[in-house]
Structures are given as structure tokens and as C-alpha cells.
Chains A and B, each alone.
Chain A
Amino acid sequence: MSFKNKYDVIVIGAGPSGVSAAITCSKRGLKVLVVDSNENSGGQIYRAPPKSYIIKNKKSLKENLIQIKFSEDLKKNNIDTAYNHTVWQVSPGYKVDAFNDNVTIQWTAKNLIVATGTYEKIVPFEGWTTPGVIGLAACTVMLKSHHTLPGNKIILAGNGPLLILVAYYILKFGGKVEAIIDTSSKFQWLKSMLPLITNPENFIQGISWILKIIFSKVPIYSNSIVKKATNNEDGILVELKNIKNKKLKKINTDVLAVGHGLTPSTDITRLLRVEHIYNELKGGWIAKIDKYFRSSMKGLYITGDGSGISGAIAADDKGKLTAYTTLYDSNIINENEFKTKSNKILKKLNRYEIFAKGIAHLNSTPKELIENIDDNTILCRCEDITKKEIIHAIKKGAKNLNQIKTWTRFGMGPCQGRTCHYSVARVASEQLKCEVKDLSYLTGRTPIRPFPLDKAIGDFEYGEITKVEAAPL
């Protein structure tokens, strides 16, 4: 695809909210570009199968059909799509830099819609860096997009709806779930399921998945966490612990998949230095927005789960409302139309919020998970930094996440703290007897994804190099 240099709107992220925002803007004549690091639209929730897969038309998964419709709608509305492009820098103005296989490219736009979704929160435990221990979200990619079982025997651990979803797909594909290790109690599940009644389609689906798991006689350990995982000749030995009665149990598996809920991706908004707020039930730090999804910077909008977690169904409407706000702020639609359209969507979004709150409680991280982290357990995987080293920095005087980063190098590796900032913040908040929000968040730094420098430099002639005057002595 050939790109323009300038667009009216750039949407980063081709998940449900990004796609709906892009289509709504484009229908009113704005020139839109959608950028995504994946090779197709759909985001993580409806992630497309590899391009080489050929669909057997008779049987299709619902998620795959939704993704196909996304791609068709983007094409129909003449929206430029930059797939396989990973954004590594965003600057005010707005300039978006991205790289693909060969080069880095820059586009500019008056408006920027950030629809970058979430990534998975995984609280460390002894042995969590063992190969074969993966995220629950990684399992969803293997199953739903690649139609591949992660292993012959799989243990699922953590909390939240992904536990049920992953177990369901493994069983549907004929795989074996050795055990489900659930941080929550059965009562917590029941309490969270009740608000789901406001959303009958999801409620019935949820119940049918749970029934499949029960009928398949998968052992479920409630109120339990993974204490430790070790490599042995049979695969991985998982030691689990009941947090109520402290009982221990050991189970062998090929693969251990763990996830403790989702957290909004704030790479781009932190880089742009907009205001952020902390909201544990919305997934942690999120850019501060008004109810129309405007950030504190003109022309910058945050939408979808990246603006606070409320799920894929709400994401579509969030994207639409964000688009109407963009259109109104760009003087394309008048106040009357904006009011009518936005009020209608806001009513729907309020209804989804009831459902989102129920799920949010299942996603929260109980203190037992943090207490379970051993002193010698690595928190920052990129730089091999242990809990002990983090505590040492705090004892020496580090008082917030950025100071701990300077002290220890945590968060300075290629993942930029995405994997560890939550657990480091929780450990530090216990140590400093303060709340996570008092510790601030890691200042955004370029590049937000690593890439080879030769791509940034590209090809040039000697004469093209800008000569810099020597500094005066």
C-alpha cells in the first residue's frame, strides 16, 4: 500500500475500538490511516489467523468471522492500513514513526486516536521465568488465531475471565487441562457473574463455557495460587498453595499458563506526557480522559480498553463515540448531531459498565499473590532484577518507580517495564507503606519498541549528512 504523508486522523491499533473509530471518521470524509503491528486487523481479541491459513468455509469460529468483517469494512471505506508496522515513537503535532521489515516511516496527522488496548498482568512467583511458563493471553493467540494447542498437558492459573476462555478452547480443540488454579473463590465468581445478566448474550456464553469445563471434570483449585514452578525431566512441576488453608500440592505439566488480568497500554500517552490517573478497577494507570474520550492534549483521543478496561463489546461503541468527538472537534458535525449521537452511545456504555465492574473485581490482584514473591525471584525479566534488589534500592532511599528504575535498571530493558512495572509497584508500595498511585509511573521513553538502528538510519549519501558546528571552547 502506498501511503500519504499527512492524514486527518491516525488510529493506532486495529482492534475493535480502532476499527470502529476509523470507519466512523472515514464515513464523514476524514482521511484515515490505521497502524497496527500485526499482519491484519482484529487486535488481540479477534486476532486473525496467519495469512497462509485457508478457511474451511463450513465451520468457522465466531471470532474469525468478526475479523473478516473488520477487514472488509476497512477496505470498503477506503481507509489506509499499515499492518506489520510497529510504532516506535509518537510526538506532538502529531508525528507517528513506525518500522516494518525494511524501513522506518513517518506520518503526520491533526488528530491521533490511540486504540492500543491492553497487555497481560502477570505477578511473578518462583520459577516464572522457566521456558514453558507463558501468559494466558499467549494461549488465546495460540488457540483462537493459530489453532494450535500449547502442549499435551496444560495447567491454567491466575484470575479473571481468561481462565475460563482458555480452558474452554483447549477442551473444544480436544486438549487436556490438567488443572485450573484460581486465585478467586467460587463465591467471587458467582458475585461477578450476577451483573452479567444485564448482558444476556455474554451471560449465556459464560455459563455454557463453565458447564463444559465442569462436565470435562477438570480439577479446579479455588483460592489457590502457584507457589513455585520448576523444570524437571517430565516438563514443569507446579507447586500450588491454597491461600486460605495454606495446603500445598504438586502437579506435573508440559505448559503452565498464568495471567492476573489485563492492564491498559500507556506507552504512547506516557511518551506524549499527558496527564494520567490511577484506577485499579480499570486496570491501573490510564490517560486522563473526559467522557467523550478526549485526553488533556488537543487532538489526542484514547479509546477502547486502553482508556480503561470494559471489554470488546463496549470497545466498538467507545470507538464510535471517540470518532464523533473527533468529528465534532474538527467542525465536521454540529453540536446538535454530536449531542444526539453521543447521548445514545453514552447510555449503552453505562450499561456495559455494570458488566465491566463485575469482571474488574475478578481481575484485581489480592495481596497474597504479592506476598508469595520470594526475595530471590526475578521481577524485571529483561535486566534480571530480583525483589531483593528492588527492596535494597528502597532501603537506600528510592521513593518512587522512576527512582527505583535509576537505582536498579528495572524497566530499562527492551520491554520498557511493561512486564514488571505493576509487580514492582506493588512490592514497593508494601515496603514504603503507601499506595501504588503514590509511586507515580515510569516516564515514557523512545523507542517504545526496540528495533535495529540501521532501520532508523536508512540509506544515505555522504553529502546528505547534516554537518554540526563544533561547540565553542
Chain B
Amino acid sequence: MNLRISDYFERGKKIKIIINEKTLEAFEGECLSIVLFISNHKNLRLSPKKKENRGMFCLMGSCQECVVLLDGKKVTSCNIFIKEGMVIKTGDLNEF
């Protein structure tokens, strides 16, 4: 099923971003958290003590769970709007 609904809006142009060294097609300006969530990248990082998988949770900048590495810097992915060529890493963020 196409999870992107286009009854009310046209999305931005098709672009490519890089997630864990693999290319992913998405639309310019989409929220990074949502793009990752609907393209089977639900595991974003590991929790500090138990090293359990964590992912997007509140989607409004409150919980800080959706942190990923964007071009080498830690960011909350819920307030990132994607652009062509962004390089994203998920997983054990302290390893990189």
C-alpha cells in the first residue's frame, strides 16, 4: 500500500538520500522521521544503558527519541526536512 496520500497535496520533487550507505528515494521537504518510519527504518538508535532499539515516538520535538546522525551530527530527525544527498546513519550512534 502506498502510505503517502496525494489527494490534497502534491509533494516536492523526488530526491535521493543515503541511509546507512544505502540509497533511499523520497520527496524533498518531507520530515526525516516520517520518511524513515514508513520505509522500514524504525530502529533509529540504541538506548544509553540497556542498548535497546529506539525509534520515533512523539514526533513533536519533546521526547528526543528520534535522534540520528545527519552528516555526522546528532539531530532529532523529527524537525529535519530532507534535501538531496543527505547522509544519515542510525544504530549505535556513539560508534561512529
Contacts and interface: CB of A to CB of B under 8 A. Distances in A.
B59 A134 contact: yes
B10 A54 contact: yes
A107 B5 CA distance: 40
B10 A381 contact: no
Given A52-B29, A53-B29, A383-B48, A147 B9 contact: yes
A291 B68 CA distance: 43
Contact of B73 (A119, A146, A452): A452
Interface in A11-39: 37-39
A150 B37 contact: yes
A51 interface: yes
Contact of B64 (A56, A137, A148, A415): A415
A272 B86 CA distance: 38
B1 A137 contact: no
Nearest to A231: B53
Contacts, number: 146
A250 to B, nearest CB: 20
Contacts of A44: 60
Interface string A397-433: 0000000000000000111001100000000000000
Contacts of B3: 148-152, 175
A73 to B, nearest CB: 22
A131 B54 contact: yes
Interface in A122-136: 129-135
Contacts of A119: 58, 60, 62
Please classify the interface of chain A as helix (H, G, I), strand (E, B), loop, or mixed, using the class held by over half of its residues: loop
Interface in A192-251: none
B64 A55 contact: no
A449 interface: yes
Interface string A369-400: 00000000010011110000000000000000
Interface in B38-77: 38, 42-44, 47-50, 52-65, 67, 73-74
Given A52-B27, A53-B12, A54-B10, A148 B81 contact: no
Contact of A383 (B27, B49, B55, B63): B49
Interface size of B as a range: 35 or more
B1 A152 contact: yes
Interface size of A as a range: 35 or more
B66 to A, nearest CB: 10
Contacts of A261: none
A55 B9 contact: yes
A49 B9 contact: yes
B6 interface: yes
B58 A138 contact: yes
A86 interface: yes
A259 to B, nearest CB: 10
B1 A131 contact: no
B73 A147 contact: no
Q: Give the interface centre of B6, B7, B8, B79 by most chain A CB atoms within 10 Å.
A: B8
B8 A61 contact: yes
Contacts of A138: 56-60
A419 B62 contact: yes
Contact of B12 (A50, A59, A141, A151): A50
A50 B5 contact: no
A64 interface: yes
Contacts of B81: 39, 50-52
Given A146-B34, A151-B38, A383-B49, A137 B8 contact: no
B10 A59 contact: no
A86 B4 CA distance: 28
A458 interface: no
Given A149-B1, A152-B1, A418 B47 contact: no
A93 to B, nearest CB: 25
Given A119-B60, A138-B57, 4 more contacts: A44-B60, A131-B42, A137-B58, A137-B59
14 contacts: A37-B79, A51-B29, A53-B11, A55-B9, A131-B44, A141-B60, A142-B59, A147-B6, A173-B7, A383-B48, A384-B48, A384-B52, A419-B58, A452-B73
Interface of A: 37-39, 44, 49-56, 59-61, 64, 84, 86, 119-120, 129-135, 137-138, 141-142, 146-152, 173-175, 378, 381-384, 413-415, 418-419, 449-450, 452
